[in-house]
Amino acid sequence: MRSRKVLSGKQLAGTAAAGLLGAVAFVLLDGLSSVTFLSTLWWLVAAGGTAALMASGLLALLLVGSVTGVSVNRSRLLTERRIKEILGSNAKTLSAVVETNTVLENLRDSVERMRDEALGDVRIDSVLARLEAAERRVMSSLETSTMDHHDSFGAIREQLETLQRQTNTTQLESQVTKSQKSIRSLVISTARDTVRQVEALLQLMPRVDTSTRRYPASSGYSMNPEGLLLLSDLIQKRRPHLIVEMGSGSSTIWGGTAAQGVDARYVAMEHEPEYFQKTQLLIDGFAMHPRVECRLAELRDVSTPRGTMRWYDPNAFSDLAGIDLLIVDGPPGWTGDLARYPALPVLSDRLADTCLIYVDDMHRADEQEVFRLWLEAFPDFEAVDSGVPRVALLQRR
């Protein structure tokens, strides 16, 4: 019987390392990449186990470092602990394999001494049989250990996939929670706003005569009841002589009614012919002319500190001087960025010393920026608290 070659200590240890690396490669690389990886490892073993041992050490360090890097919660810490346990078990396995290989080497030395002493073939065959049996046990143990590690790393991969799904679920739950909070906040704010508008309308209605005519609705793009009530309050309290409104519509009728009550003149500017006609019909229907009027003022290029911008034709204001109350509710935002900015630069010379500027739609970013730029460019004006979320007031110091 011909004896089989016994692996050296380094080669056997390298074989064990290759088995572990093969299991890791199967889990982490999958498919053809793991096959290529295994082929390379067996080549390293054939050349000498040292290279494979070095590769095993490097992979262990990388694996532990990688797991440590992603341990962001308790589950990941448990997974890292499991990996360390497996690596510790592998170290014990390698130690046992090395010890067993030492026994095999001693047996091989005995066989060689026997051969040198020319002992009988029977005794040599007996020792060789024992040697082969021991080698088979070592290889079987190594194979079993490798399979165990393969199963362990497969379980770790499943745990990581479960953690990923749990993470995605947690993120989804977090997004749903945020959406629920946003919806709840929106519902509450809408309900509160509705209450404010109803309360404002209840206070506003007694100030107008609805016995024979129906006032236009304050909805959509129109000034809301809270803004109309503030406008009525300001007109009654300040008793202006000249009121100029940028934009026209239902606010022209509500504001015009308050202006009539203090003998003030009310002039609205409208750049769209269609809306100009509608507002004019309302004014005629409420018999407000000539104290209340609407002028068609198309948008033209005007010079401002920020350059040329589109705004109402300045000629429409040629006979208006000493404006006591300026209502900035136009042009619409879609006509350009900072569409309402030119109002103060263009009309500043036409404003009375006690003029108050009423700015609607302050819930929008453009109007907020316009208001900030005015305060920056015109230090003789200051902001005044309106008490209404969508309205800002500006007056001379």
Is the CB of residue 18 less than 8 Å from the CB of residue 44? yes
**What's the half-sphere exposure (Cβ side, CA atoms, 13 Å) at 378?**
25
Is the CB of residue 227 less than 8 Å from the CB of residue 254? no
Domain ranges within the chain, ordered by starting residue: 9-174, 222-396
Question: Hey, what's the torsion of the CAs at 309, 312, 316, 319, to 10 degrees?
Answer: -70
Question: Hey, what's the torsion of the CAs at 291, 294, 295, 299, to 10 degrees?
Answer: 140
Is the CB of residue 225 less than 8 Å from the CB of residue 204? yes
Which whole-number Å values give the CA distances from 248 to 115, 138, 330, in the listed order? 118, 96, 8
Q: What's the whole-model pTM score? A: 0.58
Q: What is the pLDDT of residues 3-45, one digit of tens each?
A: 444 444 444 444 444 454 444 444 444 443 444 444 444 444 4
- DSSP annotation string for 273-307: HHHHHHHHHHHHHTT-TTTEEEEE--EEEEEETTE
Which whole-number Å values give the CA distances from 122 to 3, 5, 118, 397, in the listed order? 13, 19, 11, 121
Give the whole-angstrom CA distance, residue 343 versus residue 371. 11
C-alpha dihedral sign at 42, 47, 53, 55: negative
What was the pLDDT predicted at 212? 87
Assign domain 222-396 to a CATH class: alpha beta
What was the pLDDT predicted at 215? 94
Confidence of residue 189 (pLDDT cuts 50, 70, 90): confident
> What percentage of the chain exceeds 70 in pLDDT?
59
> What percentage of the chain exceeds 90 in pLDDT?
48
Give the whole-angstrom CA distance, residue 288 versus residue 266. 10
Is the CB of residue 285 less than 8 Å from the CB of residue 274? no
Across the range 232-249, mean pLDDT stands at 97
Burial of 301 (0-12, 13-18, 19+ CB in 10 A): exposed
Q: Tokens 């500006």 — which residue?
A: 394
For residue 294, the cross-strand partners are 268
**What's the half-sphere exposure (Cβ side, CA atoms, 13 Å) at 355?**
24
How is residue 364 annotated by DSSP? Answer: S
Q: What is the pLDDT of residues 320-348, one digit of tens each?
A: 999 999 999 999 999 999 999 999 999 99
What was the pLDDT predicted at 353? 94
Coil, strand or helix at 395: strand
Confidence of residue 69 (pLDDT cuts 50, 70, 90): very low
Burial of 1 (0-12, 13-18, 19+ CB in 10 A): exposed
Q: What is the pLDDT of residues 89-103, one digit of tens each?
A: 556 655 665 666 666
